[in-house]
A and B are shown apart, each in its own frame.
Chain A
């Protein structure tokens, strides 16, 4: 068991290495002079030179990589060109709204999607199943910002149930937090609900064909218990895996959602960085989100080996 955990932890190192190398090479191998691109169309030669020195682009590439990696390992994600603040500081300032939005989305999606998926599997090949799957395809196809604007149009501008945009911290005012976070959560959840509902349906459907389900039914077990304990319990591994993998979708979605609803989180940091051509911020956020994604999937992998006695390596 311990050797599996150790092996799984070690296996993330090459992946992280590839991520770091890709992000490093992105700037260095891009066509043209990256310093000039970052400086913008109206930059003077001195400004370009300053950015080149700041990013270390005037050094030999190998030295650049060693230095950059050394900084990275010490948690230094670089310095913003525009504000001169460390990228890690900027991330820390903006992380609360993003993590709150991600959290509400994951919780809401799981609460909605898992029962829907179980229902669809239980009523497989009936109109209920079809309705759930149609909903899932729609949820998967409507882009998060389109969904966001339609929600604003209907519920904020039309019915006036929720504020149009903005963010309030749950630590200062939980009520305002909830009213502000509802529409962004709904918009961002659609794709995630679709994904989880589909995989829940598929894996529960597979488990329902197992002999022990027939045994449970034969001995007169209540259908809800068969579904929720026997079927869902045994179908949990792929569901949890997809929840982890889906975080990748969530990250892309968060950036857009924050932009639609004017939430001052990491997504807005990206958008502002695009407009100001502040490349170190974009780079730092790519690294941050990638490492988060790798770590999360590592934890999920280890968690279900610990929880599911059938999985042994």
Chain B
């Protein structure tokens, strides 16, 4: 505050300021971004990362400890744990991204309509209150057990409980924005309702939604693992981290690595996404940043 006048601030430095200042100011966020990038690369290039076939059974190589041939050892069917952890990134990321995109778009649509059309508001918000009162994991379990286990079902089942929070967020933004003079001006100028929503209200929701999307993504990856672990998730033949942990349970005392490796991968990925979300929140949504 006191001596900024004397310093020349290069243009652009305050926004992103190159790599080194960014890494110095947000070390955790930068590390998280690197972890997420590596996870995405692992998912895309899984077959090239010294992996074998994740479904290959090899009864002669059961429960082998880590070695040069299989870095993380093998599980009770002789499958290579390293391979399955790498392929597991595909399931987690697919679920995380799909749920984030779906719940944000559906929540945005419902939130915009509810926030702007007064008659709908009361009904929609009561429905959302009701949905929020149902424990998300249990709702997802019920949805999966009723429609059969598949990746699509799991994605839908995790999306449904995530929607109410997005709706609340969007509605809160809409309720403040609709009182702004520029919206009044737009109304006075005869702008149509969809146009007002898209041009004036939507841009105000974007920062909060980007932050929310990262949180939804982290929470979806967690719920997917929980569902798979409990036996109500992706079909057992899919190498997801939750499935690996569920199958390793009986062998935990003799071969804890079957659970600990995918568990660590899951924890690290979720941690990275959450930290990235916190970083984005501090940057994009200072109002929220001050509150929590």
Contacts and interface: CB of A to CB of B under 8 A. Distances in A.
Interface of A: 14-19, 21-23, 26-27, 30-32, 34, 37-38, 134, 137-138, 140-143, 145-146, 149-150, 152-153, 157, 164, 198-199, 202, 248, 251-252, 255-256, 259, 270-271, 274-275, 277, 279, 282-283, 285-286, 289-290, 293-294
User: What DSSP secondary structure best describes chain B's contact surface?
Assistant: helix
Interface in B106-133: 126-127, 129-133
Contact of A286 (B126, B134, B232, B292): B134
Contacts, number: 151
A142 B275 CA distance: 12
Contacts of B141: 270, 274, 282
Nearest to A21: B130
A251 B134 CA distance: 10
B231 A274 contact: yes
A252 B136 contact: yes
Contacts of A146: 245, 263-264, 266-267
A286 B230 contact: no
B226 A286 contact: no
Given A15-B126, A15-B130, A248 B263 contact: no
Nearest to B137: A252
B263 A150 contact: yes
Given A18-B126, A18-B127, A141 B270 contact: yes
18 contacts: A15-B130, A18-B126, A19-B133, A23-B134, A141-B218, A143-B222, A143-B263, A143-B266, A146-B266, A149-B245, A149-B263, A202-B291, A248-B136, A252-B226, A255-B138, A286-B134, A289-B135, A290-B134
Contacts of B131: 18, 22
Contacts of B229: 145, 256, 259
A145 B263 contact: yes
A198 B135 CA distance: 22
Interface in B77-108: none
Contacts of B263: 143, 145-146, 149-150
A279 B232 CA distance: 12
B138 A285 contact: yes
B274 A199 contact: no
B34 interface: no
A37 B146 CA distance: 6
Interface stretch (B45-53, B183-191, B252-260): B252-260
A164 B249 CA distance: 12
B148 interface: yes
B139 interface: yes
B225 interface: yes
Given A149-B252, A149-B260, A271-B230, A142 B138 contact: no
B290 to A, nearest CB: 9
User: What DSSP secondary structure best describes chain A's contact surface?
Assistant: helix
B147 interface: yes
A259 B137 CA distance: 14
A134 to B, nearest CB: 8
B162 interface: no
Given A18-B131, A289-B135, 11 more contacts: A19-B133, A22-B134, A142-B267, A143-B266, A146-B266, A251-B137, A255-B226, A256-B137, A259-B230, A274-B230, A290-B134
A14 B133 contact: no
Interface-centre pick from A37, A256, A277 (highest chain B CB count, 10 A): A256
A111 B263 CA distance: 28
Contacts of A32: 147-148
B123 to A, nearest CB: 9
Given A146-B266, A289-B138, A270 B230 contact: yes
Contacts of A38: 146
A202 B290 CA distance: 8
Nearest to A27: B146
B279 to A, nearest CB: 11
Contacts of B136: 248, 252
B274 to A, nearest CB: 5
A32 to B, nearest CB: 7
B271 interface: yes
B133 A34 contact: no
B55 interface: no
Contacts of B253: 157, 164
B57 interface: no
Given A37-B148, A157-B253, A286-B139, A294 B274 contact: no
Interface-centre pick from B28, B131, B141, B146 (highest chain A CB count, 10 A): B146
A251 B135 contact: yes
A149 B251 CA distance: 12
Contacts of B70: none
Contact of A255 (B126, B230, B256, B274): B230
Contacts of A279: 142, 145-146
B133 A290 contact: yes
A255 B145 contact: no
A282 B264 CA distance: 30
Interface in B255-292: 256, 259-260, 263-264, 266-267, 270-271, 274-275, 278, 291-292
A277 B292 CA distance: 41
A157 B259 CA distance: 14
B138 A143 contact: no
